Chains A and B, each alone.
Chain A
């Protein structure tokens, strides 16, 4: 452990590692760019589908099965296959990242919306709310903790898979791991690995903070009571 910390410190304090295409700022920016884009698109697909299936109660079984199937898919295999079939580049890799990130978003949104107390929905309808109002004013706020959990799971998975994607010649922090491995430069491998760990932890903490910010007080209290 101490050895790892020392290797990391020595590597990260070398000024050569902070400039150019292969510098930490550029690699980090690449990693954030792929990951952010993939998460955005996966959310744009998963959230509406989850809201729809959860609100109507239809297609739920399909959503859950899809999520289970998604978990079983080996990321390395998917990445390698996609690149072999469609060539090296951002497009194919991004598709793989999105493919793996949609299921957790979809299924958590579905479970969240579906799990909203029936009495609450009845009360909302009784107050004269339309279906759309029930969804956005009652179901979504009540389901927010689970929706955010799904987004967080997807984000963690994307950051991890984007690292593996360096194996198929993508940029990002994973480059240090694979280039270091090939050059038998273990300090470089450690540098990349620790940076990826730190990034994943920061992303995860970011979602916890977001949850504190956006989840309504009433929902938070109910959650504690259970």
Chain B
């Protein structure tokens, strides 16, 4: 390790740039959480119809697999042709594709593992197809969908920093600054902040899951 006497973290630089970190963090959260939100809004209906019409799922699953495979840096670069350097969509659209690739299979798995007797009981109680979906099937699918949501949220928060190379990276800008000036402090601050954000949002999702699935709690609580 040779930093020519430069300390790993220059604390006074950190103290002087708190405002910058706040701005970048806001950008970062917008760019990384929008894809998760959009992905969820698309994945739930897409998953529902893929379960309803079985023939639809193999092509949807293949497309999801393909999207999962494609490196995001390459997608960001190809998006430039359509959205340009200044648009946040250059980052948001490819990341939404990544989110979908994880969430759609999870929604489908979640809905498929609803036990048939439960479905039949709901029908016997006079639930229509839509009400059964909203009040019985989707709530039972919550734990599996949540698992996917946690993976995509954490991945999105870390992946989006690569989009700084197409001008849209939130905290990723700290990496570029550090690399250009041979200055480790911003790089370390960036890594710490991104990892911290990922941990915080992961925790929030765990709490949300507990609130959304109260039955799981009571079951575990009874001896």
Contacts and interface: CB of A to CB of B under 8 A. Distances in A.
Nearest to A7: B81
Interface stretch (A37-45, A116-124, A132-140, A186-194): A186-194
Contacts of B75: 193, 197
User: Number of contact residues on A: which range applies?
Assistant: 35 or more
Nearest to B157: A72
A204 B158 contact: no
Contact of A84 (B70, B158, B179, B199): B179
Given A77-B190, A80-B179, A84-B182, A190 B77 contact: yes
Nearest to A196: B74
A39 to B, nearest CB: 15
Nearest to A75: B162
Interface stretch (B15-23, B44-52, B61-69, B126-134): B61-69
A215 interface: no
A168 to B, nearest CB: 7
B187 A77 contact: yes
Contact of B191 (A73, A186, A190): A73
A81 B78 contact: no
A174 to B, nearest CB: 7
A132 B152 CA distance: 37
A4 B195 contact: no
Interface string B158-179: 1101101100000110110011
Interface string A57-76: 00000000000110111111
B1 A3 contact: no
Interface string B1-30: 111000000000000000000000000000
B107 to A, nearest CB: 18
A156 interface: yes
B37 interface: no
Interface in A142-183: 156, 159-160, 163-164, 167-168, 174, 177-178, 181
Given A81-B188, A86-B1, A72 B71 contact: no
A28 interface: no
B31 interface: no
B155 interface: yes
Contacts of A12: none
Contacts of A194: 74, 78
B151 interface: yes
A26 B84 CA distance: 30
A85 B74 contact: no
B184 interface: yes
Given A167-B165, A197-B74, A81 B184 contact: yes
Nearest to A166: B73
A163 B71 contact: yes
A97 B56 CA distance: 37
B198 interface: yes
Contact of B161 (A74, A168, A174, A193): A74
B160 to A, nearest CB: 9
6 contacts: A77-B161, A160-B72, A174-B73, A196-B74, A201-B66, A201-B70
Interface of B: 1-3, 65-66, 68-75, 77-78, 80-81, 151, 154-155, 157-159, 161-162, 164-165, 171-172, 174-175, 178-179, 182, 184, 187-188, 190-191, 194-195, 198-199, 202
